[in-house]
Amino acid sequence: MKVELENLTKRWGDVFGADSIDLEITDGELVAFLGPSGCGKTTTLLMVAGIYKPTEGVIRFDERVVNHVAPKDRNVGMVFQSYALYPHMTVFRNISYPLKLKKVPQEEMQRRTQQVADMMGIGHLMDRKPAQLSGGQQQRVALGRALVKEPDLLLFDEPLSNLDARLRLSMRGEIKRLQLELGITSIYVTHDQVEAMTMADRIAVMREGKLLAYGSPEELYDRPRTLFIGGFVGNPPMNFVDVEVVQENGAYHARRGGFDVVVPPERGGQAAGHGTVIFGIRPEDVAIADDGVPGEIYVVEPLGRDDLIDVRMDEEARVHVLADPALGLRIGDNVKLRFNTDEAQFFDPETEQSLLWA
Amino acid sequence: MAETVVGAEAGVARAQTSRWAQIKATVGAWSFMSPAIFLVLVFFFIPAILLFVLSMTDLASSNFSDPWTYIGLENYRRLFSDRFFPKILRNTFKYVFLTLGFFNVGLALVLALLTSHINRRASFLFRLLWLLPRITPSVVYIVMWRRFVQTPPYGIINWFLSMFGVERQPYWLTEMPWLFVVLVNGFVGASFGMIIFTSAIEAIPKDLFTAAKVDGASSWQIIRDITLPLLRWPLLFVTTYQTLSLLVSFEYILLLTQGGPGLYTTEVWALTAYKRALKTYFGSHAWGYGAAWGFILVIIGVVMSVVYLRVFRFDELVQEPKIDVL
């Protein structure tokens, strides 16, 4: 099922929960609403579920406007951060509850509930109450309950945030695979950009009720349209340094103090002549080398596979670099940095818009 | 098991420390419970025993010169052979269960459900208003009711009825004494359950209601399948607590009907006990006989508590203590 949000707005008095959101989700797509807490992603989700009435705007399921359709008639399944399992019901009754409400015959209800529970790997826990289950099992029950009624749309509200890191990783994969297999259009609300990057076909980045960007993970990662997206998407986050871009002998240079790197003309050309601009570069595009921009190591954070090195180039300019732990770098070492400027980003410091992908 | 590994001596030492820890834990537990035990002893057990002792005497104002004559179970024989004993017993249960069912639990639950579905501010105000009769002195409250039901030109109810052209305007209290006995008590009694139920409903995580709505439940189905089952504990608590408090309450009936109209029409057990012991004609206070009535009421209360505890399986609701043993 296709979902379309048009100028969707939710206001409580003067407070905007969501501010004119426009976006379209194609059939079978998994879209992540990504943003810090209080950005309006859950508000938008609850409007799609029918719990909140939009102040303005239109929600369409396929061609049908559903603004005034009650939640029970929208055929959506929802999974919550708190799991929201009914504590007084057994696993079986939790999963079968949507079917019971639909007055599905007993026998079919039994069969479908068992089938979903088996798919989720909790078929043997049918008689337990939620309090007798682990967090991961509870989340599986919640997923089962959302899936059992064969919804046209699945809504996830930070479903993995209450799980421990390892379980989160495996559930992430499972949800993604399940969604692909069943081909159910899904909205996935999260504040974790790794989750959004790994799971979503497209990501809607939100802040303060507004939709800032909507695109595939690669698009957001490679072509961030604003400073906020550049800094928010990607882990560890992008480095930002104030520079001035000048053209010299046909080559573009990004410069500040002792920092001077050559940037490719298709990028440098866009940033030249703007005075001071913000130069953005991801940690994986900076390398410790034999020659390049000099700096002093300020902090070394071992991440296991890499060391995350914080290098101070001058008083105000610091960059994070991913380096090979085998290099044995230590705090205080003097190093040289080489920048892969093919991936350089430039932003206007005033408007915070990208100078490359306007 | 561990002892065999660490050796016999260490095992003994460990057993000793664990015994010491056990003693400490026991003492700790008892010292925490002691204030409550003290109160229950002083204000329940000792009075109940005194009451029983008193009920075996003929202590009364008519023979005060020669008090404390032990007469065995004579007072109880007299009580059970009282012509009105069955009626009073019936009245008592009628009063308790009608008030409980329709008001203290029934209306309280309805009000709690209604107020939790409306705007917070409005519901707060509503609950506050509903609490007013509870903090109004009983006498003022009852005098107000007696005015309500009066014949013209005093009665407000009749005044309203005349607006609708109803000709018959009796003194409603003697017309339908039971209706008003239950109503007057229930109107006040409902506020207690309402407060308890409201806070219990508000304590239910919002996500559960959202989930139920998304699952396809209507408002009524949400109340039936989610809210009510999750109110089990407060429901049982209010039912039990209010049963016991209604059993021993009589002041509104005393002020409203004095057990009448006519012979024992609305007289309940607690009122009889009060009248026998402390409000008999010609100043003849039959303390011993009244104590017998009172003691039977204690027994009824205890039996009902035990029945409730069993039927509602309170022990299942009591969780393992969350505090670690000291």
Domain segments of chain A: what residues?
A: 3-232, 239-347
- If one compares A25 and A329, the residue with the highest pLDDT of the two is A25
- The domain total for chain B is 2
Percent of chain A, pLDDT > 70?
100
Give how far B217 is from chain A: nearest CA, Å: 6
How many residues can be counted in chain A? Answer: 358
Contact B60, B282 (CB under 8 A): no
Spatial neighbors of A35 by CB under 8 A, at least 6 apart, are: A41, A191, A205, A206, A207
Distance between CA atoms of A355 and A269, rounded to whole angstroms? Answer: 10
Which of A30-39, A96-105, B131-140, B169-178 shows the lowest mean pLDDT across its residues? B169-178
Q: Report CB contact under 8 Å: B215, A101.
A: yes
Same domain, B131 and B250: yes
Pick the residue with more confidence: A321 or B66? A321
pLDDT at residue B65 above 80?
A: no
Residue B7 lies in a domain: no
Neighbours of A81 (CB within 10 A): 19
Partnered with residue A214 across adjacent β-strands are A204
Global ipTM? 0.82
CA dihedral B272, B277, B280, B282 (to 10 degrees): 180
Examine residue B153 and say whether the peptide bond preceding it is cis (omega within 30 degrees of 0): yes
> Which of helix, strand or coil describes residue B271?
helix
Question: Is any Cβ of chain A less than 8 angstroms from the Cβ of B175?
Answer: no
Considering only CA atoms, which of B136, B174, B138 is closest in space to residue B155?
B174
B300 shares its domain with B234: no
Residue B324 has pLDDT above 70, yes or no: no
Q: Which of A144, A33, A170 is nearest to A89 (CA)?
A: A144
Chain B CB within 8 Å of residue A21 CB: no
B75 lies in the same domain as B125: no
Q: What is the 3-state secondary structure (H, E, C) of A250-312?
A: CEEEEEECCEEEEECHHHHHHHCCCCEEEEEECHHHEEEECCCEEEEEEEEEECCCCEEEEEE
> Is A88 within 8 Å of B218 when comparing Cβ atoms?
no
A276-281 β-sheet, strand order: A259-263, A251-256, A239-248, A276-281, A345-347
Residue B28 in any domain: the answer is: no
Asked whether residue B18 is domain-assigned, the answer is no
Q: Rounded to an integer, what distance in angstroms lies between the CA atom of residue A247 and that of residue A48? A: 51
Q: Determine the Cα–Cα distance for residues B130 and A166; give it in Å rounded to an integer.
A: 52
Q: Tell me the fold of A239-347.
A: OB fold (Dihydrolipoamide Acetyltransferase, E2P) (2.40.50)
User: Would the CA dihedral through A272, A275, A278, A281 be positive or negative?
Assistant: positive
Cα of B316 to nearest chain A Cα, Å: 13
Is the Cβ of B232 closer than 8 Å to some Cβ of chain A? yes
Same domain, B133 and B72: no
Question: What phi and psi values does residue B286 have, to the nearest 5 degrees?
Answer: -95, 80
**Residue B55 falls inside a structural domain:** yes
Contact of B22 with chain A, judged by CB distance below 8 Å, is answered with no
In a domain, B9, yes or no: no
Let me know how many helices (H) and strands (E) chain A has, helices first.
9, 20
Q: What residues of A are in contact with residue B221 (Cβ under 8 Å)? A: 101
| CATH number for region A3-232 | 3.40.50.300
pLDDT digits (tens, 9 = 90+) for B112-140: 998 888 888 888 888 888 888 888 888 88
Tell me the percentage of chain B whose pLDDT exceeds 90.
19
Task: Return d(Cα B253, Cα B220) in angstroms, integer.
Answer: 37
Q: Does residue B167 sit within a domain?
A: yes
> What residue numbers bound the domain in which B110 lies?
93-266
**Best mutation site among A97, A109, A141, A162 for testing chain B: the one with the most B CBs within 10 Å?**
A97
Q: Check CB contact under 8 Å for B230 and A145.
A: no
- Angle, helices A91-101/A106-119, rounded to nearest 10 degrees: 130
CB contact under 8 A, A71 and B218: no
- Least-confidence region, from A3-17, A58-72, A231-245, B50-64: B50-64
